[in-house]
Every structure is written in C-alpha cells, then in structure tokens.
Amino acid sequence: MTGFLALRGLEKRFPNGTFAVAGVDLDVAEGELVALLGPSGCGKTTTLRCIAGFEDPTAGTIELAGRRIDTLPPNRRAATMVFQGYALFPHLSVWENVAYGLRVRRVDAGSLRDRVAAALALVGLAGLGDRRPEQLSGGQQQRVALARALVLEPRLLLFDEPLSNLDAKLREQMRLEIRALQQRAGITSVYVTHDQAEAMTLSDRIAVMSEGRIVQLGTPRQIYDEPATRFVADFIGHANFVSGIVRGILGPGSLDVEVLGRVRLVSAAAATYREGDAVVVLIRPEEVRLVTDDRDAVPATVLRVGFLGSSAIYQLQLAGDEVLATVPMERGVSLHSQGSRVGVLVSDAALRAFAG
C-alpha cells in the first residue's frame, strides 16, 4: 500500500561522487511518526532534505497525499522542517518568531493572531509571547521552534536531530513532549536521529539506515527484539555477541545452536545456514541472570562490577566470551565482587543468531 508519504527508489549522488542516499523506499502512514536512525554519515539528513526540497534527488520519486512533490519548490510541499531551538531569531519576541512564517505568507492579521495564539497554546507557552528567546530555558526555546513549524499547519513535519544541543535530562523530557504534541496535532512526521533511545521513545516505527539504505523498518519492539542484521542488533541498545555453532536447521528463522555450553533452540536472522556453520549469537545484557546455586548455569567470573543505582552492570568472562550483564538492584541485596565465580542463566528465547 502506498503511504501518505511515499519515497520510491530515492537516490542522491552529490557532484563529488558521494552516494549519500542509495535507493530508499519508505511509506509513512497519515499521522505516523517514523524515525530515520543510523550512524553519522548514513544519509539521514540528505533523505530529509530531499523530502523538504532542499536537495534535488538524482533518482526516485516522493509523493505526499497522493501527489508528486519532488518536482515542487520547498514552499509548495506542505512539509516543514523543525530546526533546533537555537535557530530562533534572537531579536524577535517569541510571538514574532512564531508569526514570522505567516507574515512571509501574507496571512491576514486576524487569522495570524488566532493561529499564533493556538500554536503557542499547543506547545504550552501561551503566556510567554512577549519574551525574547534568550529569556527562555532550552526546552522552552525548542517548544517555540516547534510552534513555529506547527503554525504553518503543515501536512508533514520533518525533524533533524532537534534535541542534540540539549543536556541529557532535558532531552529525555523533550522526547516525550514532542511525541505527545505530534500525536495531539496528528501530523505525519519524519524524525532524523542517531540516538537510538530517542528513536525508541518517539516513534511508531523506526527505519534503521546504513550507507544510504534502509536496512530494517519496524516498530521499536521489532527492531529491538528481532534485529534483521548484526549491524541493527549492535546499533540498537547494548548487544553481547557470543560464538555458536549450528547443530540443526528447524525451519526459517529457527535453529539449534550450540552456544553457552549446550545446544539451544534460537531464533535466527534471515540467511542461509548449514549444520556446522559458525554463527554469532546476540544476548541483551538485561537477559543475563546471575545465580549462585544452579546446576544448569554457565560458570563465569566477574571481571568488573559497577553500581548504577537502579541496576548494576557486570562484565563477565564466560569461557571464551566476555559478556555484559545488567541486573536490577534490590535494596539489601549485595553485589558479586570482582573475581568471584557466578553462574549465568540466559533463556533460549532471548538468543538470536546471525550468520558468522
């Protein structure tokens, strides 16, 4: 099915030969927020700028609401970029910053007043129209930037790492705020970030990009639990990889693998596997349980231990593999000390194999 926003075969090759976007197909449903997530240089911004009209694709098409927009100038695409809060005009009041785009579009005074008031109310800044940006906190400035985009009543909001200049705590809070606002306004959005936690909290779906392509598209849950490739597994959250050997092929996506001392039934990313193949097996740190008196446990040595407040992090030596484990803290329960011997339990369901 064709999405409200539909990218087909999108490519961008810069004159210097850089193949920044190397064939992107993506459908975004109306009202949906899709994050483009990937490491620096993988083509996220270039994809977004093609949608906005700031770059001309070298191949492919872009449709919004059933209409080709890639041939239109940026101001006729009904797509608006949300910039970082510091891109506000410092000499203009909050009100005038928000009104600016409407003045450029020669919107009449009455509806300008109504729309600016509504946009400021929507972002929770109704009383602060007279302030200058410098008199606002970083989070408030980011909300003004959002109001400045929303006031134009776009059909598509485009975000390019809008929170990257805020401190960690504020960034976490703003993620939730942006998500709530986007849902309240019901505006279809594409959100570029290299921060996997940000993508996880904000998105309906995440498109993980690498080298100009989408390598996996899915809900945050799918991307985390069933990464399509080792690259995705490594990029999303923390990943341990231990070595395994295929001992049986049970069907598509299901293998018997000898790993952590015995043969286990594990899920497998799409690939061709044969008995005897070496594979790498993903274990998330929170799936590792530490025990002291269980015969089934794999013996391990604590190399390092750190106390994080709500959890503890262990670096463990397990036969030939080093593994990180995060363990929730309970009041009164003491940590295993460095050098101590522990047992490790991981349920088979938590394991996922990738071609080695």
Which stretches of the chain bind ligand ADP, using CB under 6 A? 14, 16, 18, 20, 38, 40-46
- Minimal distance, residue 43 CB to ligand ADP, in Å: 4
Q: What is the DSSP letter of 20?
A: E
Is the separation of the CB atoms in 342 and 336 below 8 Å?
yes
Q: Choosing among ligand ADP, Mg ion, none, which partner's interface includes residue 85 (Cβ < 5 to 8 Å by kind)?
A: none
Q: Taking each helix axis from N to C terminus, what angle separates 168-185 and 138-150, rounded to the nearest 10 degrees?
A: 20
Looking at the Cβ atoms of 192 and 353, the one nearer to ligand ADP is 192
Q: Taking each helix axis from N to C terminus, what angle separates 109-122 and 94-104, rounded to the nearest 10 degrees?
A: 130
Looking at the Cβ atoms of 181 and 208, the one nearer to ligand ADP is 208
Is the separation of the CB atoms in 50 and 21 below 8 Å?
yes
Looking at the Cβ atoms of 45 and 196, the one nearer to Mg ion is 45
- Minimal distance, residue 189 CB to ligand ADP, in Å: 17
- Minimal distance, residue 166 CB to Mg ion, in Å: 17
**Residue range at the interface with Mg ion (CB under 5 A); choices 45-53, 76-84, 232-240, 337-345:** 45-53
Strands 188-193 and 33-37: parallel
- Minimal distance, residue 282 CB to Mg ion, in Å: 27
Q: Choosing among ligand ADP, Mg ion, none, which partner's interface includes residue 18 (Cβ < 5 to 8 Å by kind)?
A: ligand ADP
Q: What is the DSSP letter of 31?
A: T
**Residue range at the interface with Mg ion (CB under 5 A); choices 44-52, 205-213, 235-243, 323-331:** 44-52
Q: Mention every residue, 6+ apart, whose C-beta is less than 8 A from residue 144.
A: 85, 88, 94, 97, 98, 123, 125, 133, 136
Q: Should residue 45 be labelled a site residue for Mg ion when binding is judged by CB under 5 A? A: yes
- Minimal distance, residue 338 CB to ligand ADP, in Å: 39
- Minimal distance, residue 83 CB to ligand ADP, in Å: 14
Looking at the Cβ atoms of 45 and 203, the one nearer to ligand ADP is 45
Q: Should residue 46 be labelled a site residue for Mg ion when binding is judged by CB under 5 A? A: no
Calpha distance 46→44 (Å, rounded): 6
Q: What is the DSSP letter of 167?
A: -
Alpha helices in the chain (DSSP H): 44-52, 94-104, 109-122, 138-150, 168-185, 196-202, 220-225, 230-235
Burial tier of 7 (Cβ tally within 10 Å: 0-12, 13-18, 19+):
buried
Looking at the Cβ atoms of 44 and 171, the one nearer to ligand ADP is 44
Q: Choosing among ligand ADP, Mg ion, none, which partner's interface includes residue 43 (Cβ < 5 to 8 Å by kind)?
A: ligand ADP
> Which residues would be at the binding site for Mg ion (CB under 5 A)?
45
